[in-house]
Amino acid sequence: MKPDKTLKTREMFAIVALFIGVKLSDTTATLYSQKVQNGFWLSVVVSLIIALPSFFILLHLLKLFKDKNLVELLEILLGKFIGKVVGFTIFLTSFGLLVLDSRNYVEEVKLLYFPESPTTSLYFIFIIVCILTAKRGLESIGSTSWIVLPFIKISMFLLAFLILKEIVWLRIFPIFGNGLDVVLTEGINKASIFSEFILLTIAYTSFRDTKFFRRGSYIGSSVVSLELVFFFLLYALVFDYNSIEKVAYPYHEVTQYVNLGNFFTNVETFFMVFWLSAAFLRFIIYLYLVAMVFGAVFNIKEHESLLLPLGLLTVSSGLLVENTVINELVYREKLLMYSTPLYVLLPYLLWIIKRLRRDLK
């Protein structure tokens, strides 16, 4: 008895919820709030409005071409060569974002909890855990995500509940922060924050039935979107106009605000544990998907053997950036901005090609 493909809706949901959902607790909020200030939760809504339809169109296309993953779909629609080139571009941008983002997370852990430890050792441990876990395969990643997910979500919503007494509803104003135009441009520019949705489709055929992938994606993306907007709104209500742009890690800042009764007053480590599990899983999934894209582009069947080199490459390139501010506010922001057109427009382009080339079925 060999159940080869065991992944179903709930694993997909867990993967989406962790892969994208952790964004509510990292520096994504900071990235938005730099220009938009407390209206940044609306920018996220804009980004989601831009990014989600492309994802759904891609899902629709994948449904038409049964049993094809992202790269195979690209090859069919764009031809072998251009398909590979686009696939490789997707790999490059995702890998770049993986490098910058992982450095970002490691710096976050270091700054908040291990100020005296060297980044290098933390980074190595982080990536080694990711490689070891990712090596066990997507089935195991999905199961692990599902097992850990409830604890992470409970801790997040416990935090949301505890912070409720700190919020002031009037801080929602000015409703558009620094102006509607800023909200819109920032939202559109950073839509590629959700490019990971597109990256997920490389695993389209790894599920027991592709309908589980679609169902998991729909449920996962809607839940995650609600969560993100809810938490970003919460940050806006806690930190207010102007001061919000100075908060580097809003989620962790919030954990410092909350108490569990009068006795447990410093519970940030409690929340940090769950946040860390989520962060680990996010990069495990990220690394695995990136390896999958690379494997698909270069026809490497054993893509799991790519994890070690890709992981070590992540560490070595991640350490190149001199500090976290430049990493976050220059490189990551630029990369996100430049890759937005690719991720947002690609699915539409594919869809148009599909309409034009009626010979394909």
In the chain, what's the furthest Cα-to-Cα distance? Answer: 70
Two structure tokens written together for 143: 């199961």
| Cβ-contact 145, 15 below 8 angstroms | yes
Residue 14 C-beta: closest distance to another protein, Å: 8
10 part of the interface to another protein, by CB under 8 A? yes
Specify burial of residue 4 (Cβ count, 10 A radius: 0-12, 13-18, 19+). Answer: exposed
From the list 127-135, 221-229, 243-251, 336-344, the region that binds another protein by CB under 8 A is 127-135
169 belongs to the binding site for another protein (CB under 8 A): no
Residues 62 and 201 sit within 8 Å (Cβ to Cβ): yes
> Closest separation between CB of residue 287 and another protein, Å?
13
The packing angle between helices 250-257 and 138-163, to 10°, is: 50
Among 66, 81, 168, 265, binds another protein (CB under 8 A): 265
Name the minimum Å distance from CB 169 to another protein: 31
CA–CA dist 250, 252 (Å, integer) = 5
Q: Which stretch binds another protein (CB under 8 A): 123-131, 186-194, 235-243, 351-359?
A: 123-131
Per rule CB under 8 A, is residue 205 in the interface with another protein? no
Closest CA to 196 of 324, 268, 293, 273: 293
Under rule CB under 8 A, residue 56 binds another protein: no
Distance from C-alpha of 273 to C-alpha of 282, rounded to nearest angstrom:
14
Q: Is 242 in the site for another protein (CB under 8 A)?
A: no
**286, amino acid identity:** Y
Decide whether 72 or 107 has the Cβ nearer to another protein: 107
Mark residues 275-294: x for contact with another protein by CB under 8 A, - for none: -xx--xx--x----------
Tokens 């996220």 locate to 44
Interacting residues with another protein (CB under 8 A): 1-3, 6-11, 109, 113-114, 117, 121-122, 125-126, 128-129, 132-133, 136-137, 139-144, 146-148, 208, 263-270, 272-273, 276-277, 280-281, 284
